[in-house]
Amino acid sequence: MKKVLLVAALLASVSAVQAQDTLKKIKDSGTITMGVRESSGLSYTIGDGKYVGYHIDVCEHVIADLRKQLGGKIEVKYQPVTSANRIPLTVNGTVDLECGSTTNNAARQKDVAFAVTTYVEEVRIAVKANSGITAINQLNGKTVATTTGTTSVQTLRKHERASGVDFKEVFGKDHADSFLLLDSGRADAFVMDGSILAKNIATSKNPADFRIVGEVLSVEPIAIMMRKDDPAFKKAVDDSIKGMMKSGELAKLYDKWFMQPIPPTNTKIGLPLSAATKDAWANPNDKPMEDYAKK
């Protein structure tokens, strides 16, 4: 038993040492690996290995500050991640900064760390404009799409207005796939973060064919994710983001990605800055979504 405990303690100490060396790892290797998404609202690809979006720009700014801090050249490597594998790839050291659209919640905080909140999300429902669906209680007997590895359908089921509403779930492998389920008629609704719904609608062939409807299902803090138990790296990332909040750079990036035409179709998403996001910038914190629910 003592041997087993000793081995467990050694493994724990080794993993702690590994986790605490992100800044050294970046400096020694001259590279940092950014976790990116293919079709999220805050991080997506425009082809040819190019990734863009609000959170990509935030991470690029953080990396520019890391270059100053570490005094050297840092090459950025892009690692596409999905809702299902983003946490394991962060935990095992493949990804240094996960720059997608990840909700900071209490369960995830057991495995990973989050930077200060950069965006406060509202989970909503997207439907075809001609569907006649305007509220949760109209989803009874319908098929609802969501993305594997996300929490949106659980949030929908828990909503007080969903009691007695019986719907079937279908899962897309990523957000583009989930939106395709709605677009092709295989799903009657797509439940997801409002920014993701708005981005997929804005960049679809016929944006007017879709509508975001119904009640806000939950309010969720979205943040850049990184490995746990690495206070020096977390401080460097947080300090950079807090600097952007203070200087107004974050507000400029928000305007660029949510209020101006964006690639590849030069369409505006048109999501004005919410009071909850403004508050998160005014009072930087890494509180999980459970703290928001208590309000």
The reply to whether 34 and 145 lie within a common domain is no
The reply to whether 164 and 198 lie within a common domain is yes
Q: 3-class DSSP state for residue 225?
A: strand
The reply to whether 90 and 105 lie within a common domain is yes
pLDDT value at residue 11: 43
In a domain, 113, yes or no: yes
* Alpha carbons 88 and 111: distance in angstroms, whole number: 9
The reply to whether 108 and 185 lie within a common domain is no
Q: What would the pLDDT profile of 25-56 be if each residue is shown by its tens digit?
A: 999 999 999 999 999 989 999 999 999 999 99
Pairing mode of beta strands 119-128, 50-52 = unpaired
The reply to whether 163 and 187 lie within a common domain is yes
The reply to whether 246 and 277 lie within a common domain is yes
* Alpha carbons 100 and 222: distance in angstroms, whole number: 9
* Alpha carbons 295 and 88: distance in angstroms, whole number: 31
In a domain, 69, yes or no: yes
DSSP state for residue 85 in the 8-state scheme:
T
CATH number at residue 163: 3.40.190.10
Structural domain ending residue among the three candidates 199, 219, 239: 219
In a domain, 279, yes or no: yes
In a domain, 1, yes or no: no
In a domain, 115, yes or no: yes
- Number of domains the chain is built from: 2
pTM: 0.83
Structural domain ending residue among the three candidates 174, 190, 219: 219
Higher-pLDDT residue of 292 and 74 is: 74
Spell out the residues 6+ positions from residue 75 whose beta carbon is closer than 8 angstroms to its own: 30, 31, 32
The reply to whether 110 and 246 lie within a common domain is yes
In a domain, 8, yes or no: no
The reply to whether 95 and 154 lie within a common domain is no
Helix (H) or strand (E) holding 114: strand 112-114
Confidence grade of residue 159 (pLDDT, cut at 50, 70, 90): confident
Q: Give me the mean pLDDT over the 81-86 stretch.
A: 96
- The whole domain housing 178 covers 121-219
The reply to whether 237 and 186 lie within a common domain is no
Q: Residue-wise over 102-115: b if at least 16 C-beta within 10 A, else e?
A: bbbbeebeeebbbb
